[in-house]
Amino acid sequence: MSSSLPSLMNKNLQDVFHYHKETKHSQLRYARSLGYMDWANQPNPYRIYKGALNISLPLATENPTPPYSLIFTDEVPSAPLLINSISQFLQFSMGVSAIKSNGVDDWDLRCNASSGNLHPSEVYVILPPIDGIGNQTTISHYLPKTHSLESLISFESGMYKTLPNNSFFVAISSIVYREVWKYGERAFRYTQLDAGHALRSLEISAKILGWSCRVLDDISDADIAQLLGLNQKLRFNEDEDEIPDILLLITSDEFNEKIDYSELLEHTNETYNSVANHIALNYQKWPLITQIEEATFSSHTTLKKMPHALITREPSLESKKVILSRRSAQMMNKEHSEISYENFMTLLNSTKESFNGFLNAVNLVIFVHNVTGLKQGIYILIRNQEHKSQLLELMSDSFLWEKIDEDFYALRYDDYKIASKNISCNQDIASEGAFSLGMLSAFSDELLKHGAHRYKELYWECGAIGQQLYLEATSLGLSATGIGCFLDDSFHKLLGLQSNRFQSLYHFTIGKGLFDSRVLTKEPYADRK
């Protein structure tokens, strides 16, 4: 090992801790941003590759899908790998779910949730020969706007002979500038939360088709960048870097063997014959964003196999109906906010699964406002049992830790509506639903043990939890909203936390939403029907 490598690793960790501290919101100041909306330079939410072969995918809107409650079992048969199944997989994970209109402007909603509806996440597929897509191995970018693939490169490959039948790869990347435009230095946090939302969207869409989804930890960011052509800098605007995040293997059956990527990497050394569009005209310069991108660009953390947590769900709507109906509520009905205890526990227990292959690092601290049979107060759901003793030691000595249900404890009884609103940057939506929560993640120990890349992975877990809560709430006829704006250390202080061994990375609220009837909803892809 090079003697300079440990010092580089230490610098990267220092940069991560520095970034996280500098981008905290507090009562004294919010994290630095432009301070106003530069609407003339709002980034294009769609990446387009000029010169790439465009392959229109058949719409899956009319395809029957299993009930949402069934896809978490082993009862869904595996679909064959065809252009139609690839189309459904992408449409119900990253596609446009609806178009909103106020009579003057239209804007697209997507199946995967995103901070400010800005959508920094991009998706690529690496496919074996498939009729209608290509007669060779192809690497393509998915374009949600037109529900099509942009073929970037194709080549002969024997790699898929080493994998189970009907296997392919999916990659998630991020254009951080889409979030920087609105959120400034805190944007990297939101970008990685969105990558987690995209990850869970893809996992859910795979489940609908009976496919298994595995996050790959044996490949570096540099190699993912090479596969997608993101390291070919002349093809991209220098002010809008697209960074690699996650590589997934999709298979009909679980496959946990080591994968040799050398043949794919050999073929992707050449320059791709397409150029990425520019998503904006002028660009804000935030050196702290560049610093955190570089600090976390490294090898992934080694994953540990986690069993799936199966919960009992009531019969539900079709999966596609749940996915296409998911919305971010702008306000809650505070006059009718109560939900049942059964629905409340279904929501919480739905998050126990390990969404990205890691041992769970995130526990849920919940402000209960209006749940049948529960007193108002602060509660906690322990998703990682190893954390319970640590949290008992680190959190307030006055907490009760009264067991209410499996892994679920009451910490203190009181009305926390005002506190939850204040912590969520004075947003009413945090106090007017049935409950809100903060995702409390193991932090400094995880980073010191695994390195700077783990910072991104912790946010992926939180984003995946958020996407799961969105879908679970929708299936129960409830509404949800992710909250990225919260006063970090005010929340920690309320819990009695005085170190950074645990940090809150994402907040969320669930209740009964109120929607503006003046905003019309249109069907997506109407020009394709």
Q: Each residue of 215-231: pLDDT tens digit? A: 999 999 999 999 999 99
Return the higher-pLDDT residue of 33 and 302: 33
Torsion of Cα atoms, 14 then 17 then 23 then 27, to 10°: -130
For 413-448, how does the pLDDT look when each residue is reduced to its tens digit (9 = 90+)? 999 999 999 999 999 999 999 999 999 999 999 999
Average pLDDT value for the chain: 94
Question: Is residue 283 one of the residues assigned to a domain?
Answer: no
**What SS3 class is residue 234?**
helix
In 209-340, where does DSSP find H-type helix? 221-228, 262-267, 287-295, 319-325
Question: Is residue 28 one of the residues assigned to a domain?
Answer: no
Residue 227 sits in the same domain as residue 359: no
**What SS3 class is residue 477?**
coil
| Contact yes or no for 408/469 (Cβ under 8 A) | no
Question: Is residue 196 one of the residues assigned to a domain?
Answer: yes
Whether pLDDT at 3 is above 60 = no
**What SS3 class is residue 360?**
coil
Residue 416 sits in the same domain as residue 509: yes
Question: Is residue 38 one of the residues assigned to a domain?
Answer: no
Q: Alpha carbon of 285 to those of 176, 184, 226, 240: distances in Å?
A: 12, 9, 26, 11
Question: Is residue 25 one of the residues assigned to a domain?
Answer: no
Residue 175 structure tokens: 């254009």
Residue 220 sits in the same domain as residue 357: no
Least confident of 5-9, 302-306, 368-372, 504-508: 5-9
DSSP state of 328: B
Return the higher-pLDDT residue of 331 and 357: 331
Residue 269 sits in the same domain as residue 336: no
| Contact yes or no for 394/492 (Cβ under 8 A) | no
Residue 271 sits in the same domain as residue 413: no
Residue 341 sits in the same domain as residue 269: no
**Residues in the chain, how many?**
529
Residue 245 sits in the same domain as residue 339: no
pLDDT band per the 50, 70, 90 thresholds, residue 529 = low
Q: Given this model, what pLDDT does residue 111 score?
A: 98
Whether pLDDT at 182 is above 90 = yes
Residue 501 sits in the same domain as residue 424: yes
Residue 189 structure tokens: 């946090």
pLDDT band per the 50, 70, 90 thresholds, residue 1 = very low
Return the higher-pLDDT residue of 218 and 304: 218
CA distance 356 to 224: 17
Whether pLDDT at 12 is above 80 = yes
Nearest residue to 297 via CA among 509, 526, 453, 522: 453
Q: Given this model, what pLDDT does residue 234 score?
A: 95
Name the helix (H) or strand (E) containing 201.
Answer: helix 187-208
For 118-162, how does the pLDDT look when each residue is reduced to its tens digit (9 = 90+)? 999 999 999 999 999 999 999 999 999 999 999 999 999 999 989
| Contact yes or no for 13/7 (Cβ under 8 A) | no
pLDDT band per the 50, 70, 90 thresholds, residue 2 = very low
Any idea what the CATH number is for the domain that residue 60 is in? 3.40.109.10
Residue 502 structure tokens: 């645990």
| Contact yes or no for 308/353 (Cβ under 8 A) | yes
Q: Given this model, what pLDDT does residue 309 score?
A: 64
| Contact yes or no for 378/366 (Cβ under 8 A) | yes
CA distance 299 to 278: 29
Helices 454-475 and 341-349: crossing angle, nearest 10°?
Answer: 150
Residue 343 sits in the same domain as residue 412: yes
By CB atoms closer than 10 A (0-12, 13-18, 19+), residue 169 is buried
- Number of domains composing the chain: 2
CA distance 175 to 121: 7
Residue 118 sits in the same domain as residue 254: yes
Question: Is residue 251 one of the residues assigned to a domain?
Answer: yes
Whether pLDDT at 4 is above 60 = no
Cα Rg of the chain (Å, integer): 22
Question: Is residue 490 one of the residues assigned to a domain?
Answer: yes
Residue 347 sits in the same domain as residue 227: no
Residue 272 structure tokens: 């791709």
Question: Is residue 346 one of the residues assigned to a domain?
Answer: yes
Cβ neighbour number for residue 475 with a 10 Å cutoff: 25
Residue 92, sorted as left (phi over 0), alpha (psi -120 to 50) or beta, turns out to be: alpha
User: Which domain does 184 fall in, by range?
Assistant: 46-98+105-277+289-295
DSSP 328-349: B-SEE-GGG--B-HHHHHHHHH
Q: Given this model, what pLDDT does residue 353 score?
A: 85
Residue 356 sits in the same domain as residue 464: yes
| Contact yes or no for 410/375 (Cβ under 8 A) | yes
CA distance 417 to 121: 33
pLDDT band per the 50, 70, 90 thresholds, residue 303 = confident
To the nearest whole percent, how much of the chain has pLDDT over 90? 86
Return the higher-pLDDT residue of 270 and 328: 328
Task: State which amino acid sits at residue 468.
Answer: Q
CA distance 201 to 195: 10
Helices 287-295 and 4-22: crossing angle, nearest 10°?
Answer: 130
Least confident of 242-246, 266-270, 384-388: 266-270
For 450-481, how does the pLDDT look when each residue is reduced to its tens digit (9 = 90+)? 999 999 999 999 999 999 999 999 999 999 99
